[in-house]
Each structure stands twice: as C-alpha cells, then as structure tokens.
Amino acid sequence: MKNTKVQAYLERWNKADDMIEFTVSSATVELAAQALGVAPALIAKSLTFYDSPDSCLMIITAGDAKIDNAEFKKEFGKKARMLTAEDVTRLTGHEIGGVCPFALPDKGVRVFLDRSLERFDVVYPACGSDHSAIGLKLSELYEISGALGWVDVCKAWRLSEQSG
C-alpha cells in the first residue's frame, strides 16, 4: 500500500504516479535492487544521524557507499552517530526500511546528497514504506528532497567504481 503522506508530497512535482509499489520487501539495498532489477549502487539509501537530541541529518548515498567517519566529522563537526530505530520514526516520520527524504517534518531534518550518487543519471530512493521506490534524476532528487547541498562523506564506493 502506498504511503499516502509521501504520495501527496510527490504530487507537488507531478511524481506521485511514478511511485513503484512492490509485492516483495525493498527494506534493504539488496532487496530494493532485486525488486527493481538494478545494481545495488543505484539504490539511494537514506542514512540518518543525530544533529541534536531533537533533530537529525539525513545523508542520501549510493547503495554501495559507506559513511567515512573522518569525512563526516570534518563536514559536520561532530561524530557520526546513527539514530536509534525509535528516533528514526520520531524524527523523520518514517519507519526503518522505508526512510526517505520526502514528506519529512517541517523542522528537525537537514537533508544532504552525497557525491557517491553523482555517477548515475537516475537513482531509486524509498517512498516511505518497505515495499516502495521511485526513480528520480539527481536534479529531481535534489529539488524534491529539499537538499541543502552536496557532501563528500562516504567511502567504499570509489573502490567499487575502480573495480567496476
């Protein structure tokens, strides 16, 4: 079943009809890639970190990227501490497995896109449930997510790029 809050949010950009619903779980990068029939790197995962006790940073990364703690600290001036499952829901309004940069609370979530995404024309973030996704161009993802900018806080994907 479509997340109606995300669906209404995406309607502002005439993208609600582009939401993809699966009969299988898309709760992890691997499951989402299998459901879509794409490489895991194309899955735009939403990673959430504490910004303060009542706010978070959301970094949208490529599916094959991992946070580089040193780069994160250099960029944000704090240690990368992932939200607990309870705080993910409380601060983003989405359950783990369906966290996305759409239909977020008006305050308390700062969204950034990681440079690991720049290798691709289209990526696939979740749409608020663990059975959903949407294909978006990077410019669309940037605009629709309300991203505050591009950051370079990930590792591992460069190794994938060199070996691929």
The mean per-residue pLDDT over the stretch 131-153 comes to 98
The answer to whether residue 66 sits within a structural domain is yes
Give which of 141, 131, 154, 127 is closest to 67, Cα–Cα: 154
Question: Residue 124 maps to which CATH number?
Answer: 3.90.960.10
The mean per-residue pLDDT over the stretch 145-159 comes to 89
Number of domains composing the chain: 1
DSSP structural state of residue 123: E
pLDDT digit string, tens, across residues 39-85? 999 999 999 999 998 999 999 999 999 999 999 999 999 999 999 99
The answer to whether residue 41 sits within a structural domain is yes
Question: What is the residue-averaged pLDDT of the chain?
Answer: 94
**Higher-scoring residue by pLDDT: 110, 53:** 110
Count the Cβ atoms, other than its own, within 10 Å of residue 11.
11
pTM of this structure: 0.93
CB-based burial of residue 64 (10 Å sphere; 0-12 exposed, 13-18 middle, 19+ buried)? Answer: buried
Q: Name the residue range of residue 80's domain.
A: 4-151
pLDDT digit string, tens, across residues 84-95? 999 999 999 999
